[in-house]
Amino acid sequence: MEATGRGLFPNKPTLPAGPRKRGPLLPTAPPPPSPSSLPLDSLLLHLTAAPAPAPVPRRSHPTPTPTQSFLSPAAQALVLAVSSHPLPTLPSYLASRRDELLRSDIPSLLKALELSGRWEWALALLRWAGAEGAVDAAALEMVFRALGREGQHDAVCDLLDEMPLPPGSRLDVRAYTTVLHALSRAGRYERALELFAELRRQGVAPTLVTYNVVLDVYGRMGRSWPRIVALLEEMRAAGVEPDDFTASTVIAACCRDGLVDEAVAFFEDLKARGHTPCVVTYNALLQVFGKAGNYTEALRVLKEMEDSGCQPDAVTYNELAGTYARAGFYEEAAKCLDTMTGKGLLPNTFTYNTVMAAYGNVGKVDEALALFHRMKKSGCVPNVNTYNFILGMLGKKSRFDEMLEMLAEMSRSGCTPNRVTWNTMLAVCGKRGMEDYVTRVLKGMKSCGVELCRDTYNTLIAAYGRCGSRTNAFKMYNEMTSAGFAPCLTTYNALLNVLSRQGDWSTAQSIISKIRTKGFKPNEQSYSLLLQCYAKGGNISGIDAIEKEIYGGAVFPSWVILRTLVIANFKCRRLEGIEKAFEEIKARGYKPDLVIFNSMLSMYAKNGLYSKATEIFDSIRQSGLTPDLITYNSLMDMYAKCSESWEAEKILNQLKSSEVKPDVVSYNTVINGFCKQGLIREAQRILSEMIADGMAPCVVTYHTMVGGYASLDMFSEAREVISYMIQHNLKPMELTYRRVVDSYCKAKRFEEARDFLSVVSVTDPNFDKKVLRMLADRIEDAQFGR
């Protein structure tokens, strides 16, 4: 142990003297990121000044010639006159020829207009005839089919609302099916089901296409598996056998609701009935496993597909890349691009977007940007989703200048920001905890006429949750339901995200129960967020319960869930739990990321398992990952705890000359290590270097120095540091005072201990009287052995 006393320590930093003024030792923490660092006004300007969508060029239609054999010469001339008239003034023109039109066969005129490609004229004629009471079911059927072929789903829905069927009439099954499809695409699911019920009441026999459309309606609605099963049974009872579209539609419905077991059972039943799955069906099943994070089963589906002679297509590899991305295998996702090219398949925008998202998931933004440039160089044009991916990744890394550049490029390319772009901005502001900015973006969104959808509400719930505003998050949930949007699994997960930040596991459990009662199945994100709730709230039994479900096979152990299990056990300091989760990750072939490795390293360091900690550090290098500041701080902490502070200092010096710069924790760790070894001179030297390097000491730094001085009976130095802390309103902790008092008692200097308390009770305005009594009692107990 070093000698003690004043004047013996040439490296001792001199505390600032003079008036109470912030000097070089003032432990000011680095200022938090200022909201002004996010150029929100510029970003909003780019969004609101984005070019309007370029008008879709009207398809040129040949001038109709009166050669329709089903029309009389007079009717042919009438069709030619109507189709040649400009649309804006067509209603008045039709009114001028009212008598002639009403004497004609309206359905035949509509058919002629539709055949000549003039569906808009046909629609205008139908509406005029409807106002004249001259529309029958045949006329409606004609126009419904024409609009369906043109993909004019909104127009079909509007027409259905405008012109209900005349009493006693009915459409044919093709027209009914067209309207059902349009209603499905417009999201009017309940109206579609009402129409389907009406179709059956009218005695119209649904075709295979009709059944497929209704199955799609159920799938899009969600929580409809029992109704899907019942409709499949009705199909077979009617002698209508499912086809490839039926299979892919049903499996896609399972995918939306996370019904993995149901999807597999349906797929196997199809094969047992003699159905040979096609590439579309296999792709749908591949997506089910990919979305569930079960890449091993996804690979099994791919192998079965190839073994059966069904050749994978571009969609297959897109789904495979997405599966790898969700499992954290970004390199494997990127290899899908080369595999596709080698098989003669051209990667499309969706492929590139998927791989970029894989890079983004692991924070490799530069690699994603490099792929973005490769994408453009290959001739593949980025779409709005591409730009949204890039903007989101740049926002997460606070690379706002590049976000502005990307928005400018988006504008130059004529790509108009959509609702997702705005949602991305909401998410960026939420991630940075800027509640006011979230509200500003929301106002900007509304001012631009962007309608809020369920996804926007989900984003708002998550964004306000990240800002710590549980009130606003649940307010958005209530607004969402009031607006008529039914909560989906993403909504409930967003609410769980809010609760996980507060550790409110009791409410989180009620959300999980609600998910199940609403017909959903909790997915990997649901379980991950529930684990976070338990960890934050210190509910060990809750973590145990989920572990039993995972290891018992009730919950699939995806990479996301196991990763969260590692983190949850780390936060609760459960060595056995974290080791079991880590072994499961390796056993399943998952690649641990840096967060997992850092958690393991820190856990081993805190438990004195230094050889295991060193193994983890070596594994980081072997895995091709680059250690970050958390890694090095954990390693320094390990060396400091095992009395190898010189090794900790070596790492600190390496950090100073590297791209990963040390923070206040790095310096504090080394100072603490030297103090615990009684090497106060070295601790003083590191403190001097810390100040010289421009790193402001914090309360913990000074607390550590006080403890170091007190342990060596250097009480005048300890009191000098405390005096400095009080002068600069740094609020010494109760533990700071206790360490000094305990050291005085250990040295049998009880009166000096009482004098110390007497002085600080006067000089420290924040000194708690309860703490004073507790410390005074501590001195009495030590002196008189009570």
Supply the pLDDT for residue 186. 76
What DSSP string describes 698-766? -HHHHHHHHHHHHHTT-HHHHHHHHHHHHHTT----HHHHHHHHHHHHHTT-HHHHHHHHHHHHHH-TT
Given pLDDT bands bounded at 50, 70 and 90, which one contains residue 201?
A: confident
Percentage of the chain beyond pLDDT 70 is: 90
Average pLDDT over residues 625-642: 90
CB 50 within 8 A of CB 411: yes
CB 192 within 8 A of CB 184: yes
From the list 620, 632, 717, the residue with the least C-alpha distance to 669 is: 632
Supply the pLDDT for residue 498. 92
State yes or no: pLDDT of 679 exceeds 70: yes
Supply the pLDDT for residue 24. 37
Q: Tell me the C-alpha to C-alpha distance, in Å, between residue 665 and each of 594, 595, 669, 690.
A: 19, 18, 6, 11
The region, left, alpha or beta by phi > 0 then psi within -120 to 50, assigned to residue 678 is left
* Range of 158-172, 393-407, 423-437, 659-673 with top mean pLDDT: 659-673
Average pLDDT over residues 126-136: 79
Q: Of 123 and 217, which is predicted with more confidence?
A: 217
Q: What are the phi and psi torsion angles at 515 (to 5°)?
A: -55, -45
Q: Of 18 and 754, which is predicted with more confidence?
A: 754
Residue 743 structure tokens: 């050291």
CB 85 within 8 A of CB 118: no
Average pLDDT over residues 366-379: 92
Average pLDDT over residues 134-153: 75
Average pLDDT over residues 38-64: 52
Supply the pLDDT for residue 731. 86
Supply the pLDDT for residue 685. 93
- In whole angstroms, what is the distance from residue 262 CA to residue 639 CA? 52
- In whole angstroms, what is the distance from residue 755 CA to residue 778 CA? 14
Supply the pLDDT for residue 546. 95
Given pLDDT bands bounded at 50, 70 and 90, which one contains residue 29?
A: very low
- The mean-pLDDT minimum among 329-333, 530-534, 752-756 falls in 329-333
Average pLDDT over residues 112-124: 81
Supply the pLDDT for residue 168. 67
In three-state secondary structure terms, 390 is helix
What is the maximum alpha-carbon separation in the chain? 124
- In whole angstroms, what is the distance from residue 153 CA to residue 119 CA? 13
State yes or no: pLDDT of 141 exceeds 90: no
Average pLDDT over residues 323-344: 87
Percentage of the chain beyond pLDDT 90 is: 40
Cα distance from N-terminal residue to C-terminal residue, the chain: 31
- In whole angstroms, what is the distance from residue 1 CA to residue 543 CA? 45
- In whole angstroms, what is the distance from residue 353 CA to residue 441 CA? 25
Given pLDDT bands bounded at 50, 70 and 90, which one contains residue 16?
A: very low
Given pLDDT bands bounded at 50, 70 and 90, which one contains residue 176?
A: confident
Supply the pLDDT for residue 66. 42
What DSSP string describes 564-578? HHHHHHHHTT-HHHH
Supply the pLDDT for residue 526. 94
Supply the pLDDT for residue 421. 84
- In whole angstroms, what is the distance from residue 157 CA to residue 154 CA? 5
- In whole angstroms, what is the distance from residue 390 CA to residue 368 CA? 8
Mean pLDDT of the chain: 84
State yes or no: pLDDT of 689 exceeds 80: yes
CB atoms within 10 A of CB 341: 12
Q: Of 664 and 8, which is predicted with more confidence?
A: 664
pLDDT per residue over 553-581, tens digit each? 899 899 999 999 999 999 999 999 999 99
Given pLDDT bands bounded at 50, 70 and 90, which one contains residue 53?
A: very low
